[in-house]
A and B are shown apart, each in its own frame.
Chain A
Amino acid sequence: MAESLAPDLDLTPLQPILERFAPQGRAALLPALHEAQALYGYLAEPIAAAVGRALGVPLADVHGVIDFYALFYREPVGRTVVRVCTDPACWMRGADEVLAAACRTAGVEVGGTSADGAYTIERSPCLGLCNVGPSVNVTFNDPAPAQVRSFAHVSAETLADVLAGRGRAPDDYVGGDLCIVTALCGRGRRMTLTEYHAVGGMQAVRRILGSRMPPLEVVDLVNRATLLGRGGAAFPTAIKWEGAARAPGGPKYFVINADESEPGTFKDRVLMEGDPCRILEGAILGAYAIGANQAYFYIRGEYPAALERVQAAIAECRAAGYLGQNVLGSGFDLDIEVRAGAGAYICGEETALFESIEGKRGFPRVKPPFPATHGLFGRPTAINNVETLAKIPYIVNHGWESFKHFGTDRSTGPKLFCVSGDVARPGLYEVPFGVTIRHMLDDLAGGVIGGGLRAILFGGASGAFATEQHLDVKLSFEDLRAAGLPLGSGVVMVFNDTRDMREVLRRLGRFFAHESCGKCYPCQLGTQRQAEVLTRLADGRPLTGDRARLQDVGWTMTEASLCGLGQTAASAVLSALRLWPELFPA
Chain B
Amino acid sequence: MSTDVTLTLDGRAVTVPAGTTLLQAARQAGLEVPTICYHAHCTANGLCRMCVVEVEGARLLQPACIVAAGEGMKVQTRSPRVERSRRTLVELLNSAVDLSEAPEVQAQLTEYGADRERFPEAERRAPPVIDDNPMFVRDYAKCILCWRCVQVCADDAQYTFALSFDGRGYETQIGTFFDKPMPETTCVFCGQCVGVCPTNALKPKREWLLQQGQTPDEIMALTRSERRRRRR
A525–B88 Cα distance when bound, in Å, is 10
State how many angstroms separate the Cβ of A43 from the closest Cβ of chain B: 10
Interface residues of B in 33-61 (CB under 8 A from A): 36-37, 45-50, 52, 60-61
Contact residue among A61, A521, A556 (Cβ-Cβ distance under 8 Å from B47): A521
Interface string of B89-118 (1 = CB under 8 A from A): 101110110000000000000000000001
Q: Which residues of B contact A59 (CB under 8 A)?
A: 161, 177, 185-186
Interface assignment of A262: CB less than 8 Å from any CB of chain B = no
Contact residue among A48, A67, A522, A549 (Cβ-Cβ distance under 8 Å from B165): A67
Taking a contact as CB atoms under 8 Å apart, the answer to whether B177 and A560 are in contact is no
Number of interface residues of B (CB under 8 A): 50
Taking a contact as CB atoms under 8 Å apart, the answer to whether B119 and A560 are in contact is no
Interface assignment of B32: CB less than 8 Å from any CB of chain A = no
Main secondary structure of the interface of B (DSSP, over half): loop
Interface residues of B in 2-52 (CB under 8 A from A): 36-37, 45-50, 52
Taking a contact as CB atoms under 8 Å apart, the answer to whether A559 and B161 are in contact is no
Interface assignment of A183: CB less than 8 Å from any CB of chain B = no
Q: Which residues of A contact B123 (CB under 8 A)?
A: 528, 532
Interface assignment of A553: CB less than 8 Å from any CB of chain B = yes
Closest to A523 in B: B169
Interface-facing stretch out of A1-9, A30-38, A508-516: A508-516
A553 and B92 in contact, given A58-B161, A59-B186, A562-B49 (Cβ under 8 angstroms): yes
Closest to A562 in B: B46
Interface assignment of B168: CB less than 8 Å from any CB of chain A = yes
Closest to B144 in A: A521
A515 and B119 in contact, given A61-B161, A525-B96 (Cβ under 8 angstroms): no
Taking a contact as CB atoms under 8 Å apart, the answer to whether A61 and B170 are in contact is no
A63 and B169 in contact, given A543-B120, A556-B85, A562-B49 (Cβ under 8 angstroms): no
Interface assignment of B224: CB less than 8 Å from any CB of chain A = no
Taking a contact as CB atoms under 8 Å apart, the answer to whether B166 and A67 are in contact is yes
Interface residues in chain A, defined as those with a beta carbon under 8 Å from any beta carbon in chain B: 45, 48-49, 58-64, 67-68, 74, 344, 361, 366, 513-522, 524-529, 532, 536, 543, 549, 552-553, 555-556, 558-562, 567
> Can you identify 15 A-B contacts, CB atoms within 8 angstroms?
A59-B177, A60-B176, A60-B186, A63-B166, A68-B167, A344-B168, A514-B169, A518-B169, A524-B145, A525-B92, A527-B170, A532-B123, A559-B85, A560-B49, A562-B49
Q: A60-B175, A521-B89, A532-B121 are in contact. List 5 more A-B contacts (CB 8 A).
A: A60-B163, A60-B176, A63-B178, A521-B93, A524-B170
Interface residues in chain B, defined as those with a beta carbon under 8 Å from any beta carbon in chain A: 36-37, 45-50, 52, 60-61, 63, 66, 81, 84-85, 88-89, 91-93, 95-96, 118-123, 144-145, 154, 161-172, 175-178, 185-186
Nearest 8 pairs between A and B by C-beta?
Answer: A58-B161, A64-B164, A60-B164, A528-B170, A518-B172, A516-B169, A525-B92, A59-B177
